[in-house]
Amino acid sequence: MKRWLAGAMFAFGVLAAAGWLLLRQGRHETWPASGTAEAAAEATSSSPARQVAAATSASQPDDGAIAPRMSAEVRDAVPAGIRERSAARARLSAAWACLDARDLDPGAPTEIWSTLTPEHQRRAEQDYAQVIAWAEQNCRDLPPELLEKDGRLSLPDLLALASTAPDDPHWQLAALVRERKQTHDPASVDGVRVALEALLRSALVAPAAEEMQLIGALVSTQGPPDALGQGSGAHWDVRRMVWALAACDLGADCGPRSPVLVQLCLQSLLCGYPNLESAVIDGVWPQGMSATLQEERRRLVQRLRHTGGVGVFDPVQQPPGGG
């Protein structure tokens, strides 16, 4: 009886700790695959992704407070491919920031900022006001189809938004993710790996934190543990920021007005930070994991710099005798 009771108490303790951690982690990106391959191939003007594309690309360049406006002269001098890529990135950042920001409270959230320094608090209030104004302008026309039934973000739709054409790796990965019946399906994980490699090659041409964040999210959610590289398969919100920060190291814009920081301010009230790294360290990464995640980021950047990311999604070899 005593042993049973001790066992039950231990199990309860572990369950309570696990449940508490999950609650504490707040929003988790558990993106279910949705739709069908036919739906993915159907690049029609009525798809939610296209609707958001139209809405966000129309409004995005006009928002000088969040993203610097490009002059007509400069815009004309930029090759069409790069312009399309920039527009796709703008759609991705806008949709990603907007999707979780539907129940915005326009009042400044004073309590969560009460432990900041007065100067940081002032900057947070200022940034939040700007981000809310941006969201009111850009998030209004978000089609409800972009949200899954349970209100979570649809990863294939995000990928489709970030694509410029049906032969774009984003679009191809969106189709693949939609086809999969389970995110941890080992039968299709090889296909995901190949598509991720193509996506990474495309992203590394001109790294952007929002695109690399998307790759980090895919790596965390689209395979069994360690099937898509070191640390993959963990559903933790923390890992996508390893990829976003790696983009910063590779030259992406991670300053106070950068898209991922706008997203963090809108969704997690991480506002007023001078750069993405300071926001992530203060408000995303658990203190006990920070050093490990920084090391993971350092190794990732090293691999991306030296090998262009070749083999970065390869399965981690298990030590012999593990089973």
Partner 1 sequence: MLRALKTLQALARELGYPGILPTDASGWQRPEVRDEWARSEALALLADGTPEALLGLSDSIAGNTTHYSAEAWLLAACDLGYPCNMPVAYTRGWCVQYGMGCDTSGRLEFTRQLSTPRQWRHAQAQRDEILAHLRNGRIDALMRPADGAPGGGG
Is residue 13 a contact residue for partner 1 (CB under 8 A)? yes
Number of H helices, E strands in the chain: 14, 0
16 contributes a contact to partner 1 by CB under 8 A: yes
- The yes or no reply on residue 14 touching partner 1 (CB under 8 A) is yes
Interactions with partner 1, residue window 74-133 (CB under 8 A): 107, 109-112, 114-115
Residue with smaller CB distance to partner 1, 67 or 260 = 260
Angle, helix 259-268 to helix 80-99, in steps of 10 degrees: 10
Query: What is the rounded CA–CA span in Å between residue 263 and residue 273?
Result: 12
Does 28 sit near partner 1 (CB under 8 A)?
Answer: no
Segment holding 177, helix H or strand E: helix 169-179
- Taking CB under 8 A as the criterion, the residue among 31, 128, 243, 285 binding partner 1 is 285
**Contacts of 299-306 spanning 24+ positions with Cβ under 8 A:** 299/230, 300/242, 300/243, 300/246, 301/246, 301/249, 301/250, 304/204, 304/246, 304/250, 305/250
Cα–Cα distance measured from residue 42 to residue 36, given in angstroms and rounded to the nearest whole number: 10
The neighbour count for residue 309, using CB atoms within 10 Å, is 21
Interface with partner 1, residue 282, by CB under 8 A: yes
The answer to whether residue 318 forms part of the interface with partner 1 (CB under 8 A) is no
274 touches partner 1 by CB under 8 A: no
In the complex with partner 1, which residue's Cβ is closer, 25 or 36?
A: 25
Can residue 284 be called a binding residue for partner 1 (CB under 8 A)?
A: yes
41 binds partner 1 (CB under 8 A): no
Contact residues for 166 (Cβ-Cβ < 8 A; gap 6+): 41, 43
- The residue among 225 and 308 lying less far from partner 1, judged by its C-beta, is 225
Find, among 30, 87, 33, 82, the residue nearest to 240 by Cα: 30
Minimum CB separation from partner 1 for residue 115, in Å?
4
Choose one: 146-154, 174-182, 245-253, 287-295; the region binding partner 1 (CB under 8 A): 287-295
* Cβ distance to partner 1 smaller for residue 275 or 292: 292
Please identify, using beta-carbon distances, which residue of 21 and 205 lies nearer to partner 1: 21
> Does residue number 288 form part of the binding site for partner 1 (CB under 8 A)?
yes
Question: Cα–Cα distance between 20 and 134 in angstroms, integer?
Answer: 34
Question: Binding to partner 1 by residue 283, rule CB under 8 A?
Answer: yes
Burial class (CB in 10 A: 0-12, 13-18, 19+), 83: middle
Q: Rule CB under 8 A: is residue 261 a binding residue for partner 1?
A: no
Q: Tell me which of 1, 5, 23, 80 binds partner 1, using CB under 8 A.
A: 23
Contact positions vs partner 1 (CB under 8 A): 10, 13-14, 16-17, 20-21, 23-24, 107, 109-112, 114-115, 270, 281-289, 292
